Homo-oligomer: A and B are copies of this chain.
């Protein structure tokens, strides 16, 4: 019985005869199920007329800038995100669709998404190099299960260095059980996770631990200019969340030092008598929207970045808190990550206002990881090798 996979080599060859330059092969049923022979035949047939094969076992491309969309799914099944500065490279096809649907719901702008599947011919490194040349793309988020070919690691190293923009990688398939699974999914090579970790370090890319962190970091790197981050200001309307954020920052190696005495005295005058002014700054549940502005204005003079816990449930707070946070961002141009937690209409309105400009997350860990990514690309260690690359961001 002929499967779609069996027909693919002939179809691609005919397309080449008709003048096609590239093929997206959607069908599965190649190397990932043991049919390496069929995959070799596919690439060979395509090559006869100079066709480059992407896939097989891939869903293709989504390009919000020019409207190209090979997912062929209605919006009620799979939302499409607004155009934005993030490019997403996904080894998995269904995953790419789900991620775009999620990003649409979260209002995360994604300009280009590419699923590379089995990498029979064109590989992740080829796509990465290409994205380096797309002006609108400011950061690349890569989901990788594993390399396919001998030499892919070296090619990745070269490509990551050639691409003068931030790259964030989430490597899935880390343990014994999942490496077995990745092999049957995209025919990815085994190879130890430690090898990949070392490679990412050498390539100067940020590594994260799940898809949510992948997009948090990519967005942070797309919207904030990489900066050296030594001191972080924490401002909260909930002391409880301020404590948690401080924990998470510390766990990520970022410091939340006490503010200088004169800054504390100034805050003492501008905030409530029961407010905590040392850092983390706790406006308390009795505060008002303006206090976010005051705390950021005073605190950011002495810090490289801020994390704001904007829990606007107490009576004195509301979505207008967003305006004060955005004003402070305009003024200082230092990274401000916002932690919002809730489900009410008011909370959603606040998030909507903020996320066009800032990274908005719902856990302290996510905030710390996003800020760490910015710090990574802003660190001296990194710049020693790549001085000036981030000017390409235009940020």
Contact = CB atoms under 8 A, between A and B. Distances in A.
Contact of A344 (B76, B106, B180): B76
Interface stretch (A37-45, A89-97, A126-134, A288-296): A89-97
A240 B185 contact: yes
Contact of A341 (B99, B182, B278, B365): B99
Interface stretch (A47-55, A208-216, A298-306, A369-377): A208-216
Contacts of A241: 92, 94-95, 98
B286 A28 contact: yes
A185 B76 contact: no
A191 interface: no
A92 B343 contact: no
Interface stretch (A250-258, A329-337, A382-390): A250-258
Give the interface size class of chain A. Answer: 35 or more
Contact of A184 (B176, B247, B282): B282
Interface stretch (A13-21, A219-227, A309-317, A320-328): A309-317
B178 A247 contact: yes
Interface stretch (A148-156, A157-165, A167-175, A195-203): A167-175
A364 interface: yes
B174 A211 contact: no
Contact of A181 (B93, B102, B246, B311): B246
A250 B98 contact: no
Number of copies: 2
B274 A29 contact: yes
Interface in A81-105: 90-95, 97-99, 101-105
A238 B362 CA distance: 25
A54 to B, nearest CB: 16
A373 to B, nearest CB: 18
B314 A244 contact: no
Contact of A313 (B77, B256, B364): B77
Contact of A98 (B105, B178, B286, B342): B342
A243 interface: yes
A362 B366 CA distance: 14
A70 to B, nearest CB: 13
A181 B28 contact: no
Interface string A93-129: 1110111011111100000000000000000000000
A177 B256 contact: yes
A207 interface: no
Interface string A252-296: 000111100000000000000110101010101110000000000
Interface of A: 3, 28-29, 32-33, 59, 73, 75-79, 90-95, 97-99, 101-106, 143, 145, 172-178, 180-182, 184-186, 209-212, 234, 237-244, 246-247, 249-251, 255-258, 273-274, 276, 278, 280, 282, 284-286, 311-315, 318, 341-347, 362-365
24 contacts: A29-B273, A76-B345, A77-B313, A77-B318, A77-B346, A78-B313, A78-B342, A92-B240, A94-B284, A94-B311, A95-B240, A95-B241, A98-B241, A98-B313, A103-B343, A174-B250, A176-B250, A178-B247, A181-B239, A182-B243, A184-B282, A185-B282, A210-B244, A210-B363
Q: Which 4 A-B pairs have the closest CB atoms?
A: A105-B343, A92-B240, A185-B239, A95-B240
